[in-house]
Amino acid sequence: MPLEIKIPAVGESITEVTIAKWLKKDGEAVKRDEVIAELESDKATFELPAEADGILKIRVAEGETIGIGTVIADLDGAAGGSAAPAAPAAPAASAPTADPISKGEENPAASDQAGYGGTPANGAAPAAPALAGPATTGGTTEMKIPTVGESITEVTVAKWLKEDGAQVSRDEVIAELESDKATFELPAEASGTLRHAVKEGETIGIGAVIARIERGAGSSSGGSAAPAAAPVAAAAPVAALASAPAAGGAATYATGVPSPAAGKILDEKGIAPADVAGTGRDGRITKEDAQNAQAKPAASAPTAVTAATASASAQAPSTNNQAPAGGSRTVRRERMSNLRKTVARRLVSVKNETAMLTTFNEVNMQPIMDLRNKFKDKFKEKNGVGLGFMSFFTKAVCVALQEWPAVNAQIDNGEIVYSDFCDISIAVSAPKGLVVPVIRNAEQLSFEGIEKEVVRLAGLARDNKLTIEQMTGGTFTITNGGVFGSMLSTPIINAPQSAILGMHNIIQRPIAENGQVVIRPMMYLALSYDHRIIDGRESVSFLVRLKELLEDPTRMMFGV
């Protein structure tokens, strides 16, 4: 009786997958644990191994989208030959309700090329003992992605700080994880030898196994891996991706075969897979291999043909705009980080869902600059931090917000929420994208307190150490494009806030002052606001008040 191959459960939120590519043809003989197809979901790419030896009979065509538990192929003759011992476990293997996480197995949704990491040099499969259950995992600690926030369902392995096979100590940071909101550090849960289960740059779900720490010397020996292979494959077919091919030599069926993502990149570059050396499991071409691949120079044509072509080209008139021969035409693709994806999604959402408008004013910065030049040395000597422009603007904003509370308010389910405090978000350009850490209760802080908070939060942003709590809950945002040379801009509101202030560069410009034309350091200010909650009177009056406070900073000292 043919053995049915069904789509296994690959994650709690994944209900359907697409057959990206059949790696074996219809009617072809396959071996147990041999990868026969690549499946794509909306989150990752998975490999599907054969559950037994037999003749493959394909039911679903390449490119079709099907639900979890659907039968996609049959294995004729799976009950005979070398597959006989595995036959009793086959129904359990194809059960669509198998939950890899609950059984302590590697979550196949953890990467788009599952099973690439963690194979030791001796060819044994370190994943097999850990996946087989408590009886074979006595000396291994599985590390799973912890819950890092209520709304976060997946993270990306931004960077491995410890290499595969390295010795680690308990609580030592081994990796940096990146979500769509923040970056987190992952400490080791035990001391021992680290075995990666996920490659750097891959996106995995909360609760998925990211690594294993071998506490004993013999936990990954070949002897223990062999008996564990059968129950692992029987429990969940996709989990077999983490184990090595049959003993006795490296498998060659995947050599030179690109993953779907790698295949697309190679097609765009016009590079044949045969010209790329794969570094993935069994020689498979990974996305990184495709990104790093370079097209081979075209073979030289015969001299006579080259001469004739050159002559014809010289006689033909130039009718196109192609770049001259020899010019660089290379392109480079990089994965869009979760943080940048979220920023992009939020900005588009704000543009579509708010009645955003921007009003402008200008400020004479001479009084602030004179005050800074007079006290900056003593200020730094006393407080250990420099006196910058941001503290002046933050203090002025807090005063103006308390006088015009609508600018500090938010819309929530048809209601206007007014805040009697000022949590000021400061936009910072971090290496992985724009982040907005929050200065809590800025209205109560002194110039010294504000400057220290700005320095502390900016440092955390540059080091990708900001937590979600440090970036949420602001009531008003300040962004300073002037540090990059921006003269004027219309900043986008940081939802759910209702307004954002844009600072710009300081330019020496002629202005009229007391009937005289003088040169002063001037800065343009831009206030973008949601017109659904803030009227023109509030927005303009807010900027005018801000201008008064900044052009005469002593007003902030005396509250006038």
C-alpha angle 44-234-214 in degrees, rounded to nearest 5: 70
Q: Given pLDDT bands bounded at 50, 70 and 90, which one contains residue 114?
A: very low
Q: Is residue 230's pLDDT more than 60? A: no
What's the mean pLDDT in 90-105?
39
CA–CA dist 82, 5 (Å, integer)? 18
CA–CA dist 415, 411 (Å, integer)? 6
Q: Given pLDDT bands bounded at 50, 70 and 90, which one contains residue 365?
A: very high
CA–CA dist 15, 282 (Å, integer)? 29
* The pLDDT value given to residue 414: 86
Same fold, 1-97 and 99-253: yes
Segment 512-535, tens digit of pLDDT: 999 999 999 999 999 999 999 999
Establish how many alpha carbons lie within 13 A of residue 131's alpha carbon, considering only the half-sphere containing its beta carbon: 36
CA–CA dist 370, 6 (Å, integer)? 75
* The pLDDT value given to residue 491: 93
CA–CA dist 208, 146 (Å, integer)? 9
What's the mean pLDDT in 34-40?
87
| DSSP assignment letter at 559 | T
The CATH architecture that domain 339-558 belongs to is 2-Layer Sandwich (3.30)
| CATH assignment, 1-97 | 2.40.50.100
Q: Which amino acid is at 410?
A: Q
CA distances from 490 to 323, 341, 449, 543 (A): 36, 21, 29, 14
**Looking at the chain, how many residues does it have?**
560
The residues pairing with 204 across neighbouring beta strands, listed in sequence order, are 155
Q: Which fold has domain 99-253?
A: OB fold (Dihydrolipoamide Acetyltransferase, E2P) (2.40.50)
Q: Given pLDDT bands bounded at 50, 70 and 90, which one contains residue 67?
A: confident
| Domain residue extents for the chain | 1-97, 99-253, 260-292, 339-558
Q: Range with the lowest mean pLDDT among 290-304, 407-421, 442-456, 482-496?
A: 290-304
Segment 368-400, tens digit of pLDDT: 999 999 999 999 999 999 999 999 999 999 999
What's the mean pLDDT in 459-476?
87
Q: Is residue 121's pLDDT more than 50? A: no
* The pLDDT value given to residue 201: 83
* The pLDDT value given to residue 366: 95
CA–CA dist 451, 547 (Å, integer)? 21
| DSSP assignment letter at 422 | -
The encoded tokens of residue 401 equal 């917000």
Specify the CATH class of 260-292 in words.
few secondary structures
CA–CA dist 178, 200 (Å, integer)? 11
Most confident among 274-278, 316-320, 394-398, 483-487 (mean pLDDT) = 394-398
Residue % of the chain over a pLDDT of 90 = 34
| DSSP assignment letter at 258 | B
* The pLDDT value given to residue 297: 56
* The pLDDT value given to residue 97: 40
Higher pLDDT, 533 or 433: 533
Give the per-residue SS3 of 67-134: ECCCEEEEEECCCCHHHHHHHHHHHHHHCCCCCCCCCCCCCHHHCCCCCCCCCCCCCCCCHHHHHCCH
Buried b (16+ CB within 10 A) or exposed e, 407-422: bbbbeeeeeeeeeeeb
Which residues lie below 8 Å from residue 437, measured CB to CB, with a gap of 6+? 425, 426, 428, 457, 458, 460, 461, 466, 470, 471
Is 200 within 8 Å of 160 (Cβ atoms)? yes
Q: Is residue 364's pLDDT more than 60? A: yes
Most confident among 53-67, 206-220, 276-290, 313-327 (mean pLDDT) = 53-67
Buried b (16+ CB within 10 A) or exposed e, 309-346: eeeeeeeeeeeeeeeeeeeeeeeeeeeebbbeeebeee
What's the mean pLDDT in 341-369?
90
* The pLDDT value given to residue 556: 85
CA–CA dist 378, 355 (Å, integer)? 46
CA–CA dist 102, 369 (Å, integer)? 62
Q: Range with the lowest mean pLDDT among 106-115, 399-408, 455-464, 532-541?
A: 106-115
Higher pLDDT, 303 or 382: 382
* The pLDDT value given to residue 321: 53
Q: Is residue 127's pLDDT more than 70? A: no
Give the max Cα distance, the chain: 102
Where do we find the tokens 């908070």? Answer: 453
Average of per-residue pLDDT values in the chain? 77
* The pLDDT value given to residue 324: 58
Active site residues: 531, 535
Q: Is residue 497's pLDDT more than 70? A: yes
Q: Range with the lowest mean pLDDT among 70-84, 190-204, 346-360?
A: 70-84
Is 475 within 8 Å of 506 (Cβ atoms)? no
Q: Range with the lowest mean pLDDT among 111-115, 334-338, 383-387, 440-444?
A: 111-115
Segment 158-213, tens digit of pLDDT: 889 999 989 999 888 899 888 776 777 889 988 999 999 988 888 888 888 999 99
Q: Is residue 320's pLDDT more than 70? A: no
* The pLDDT value given to residue 526: 97
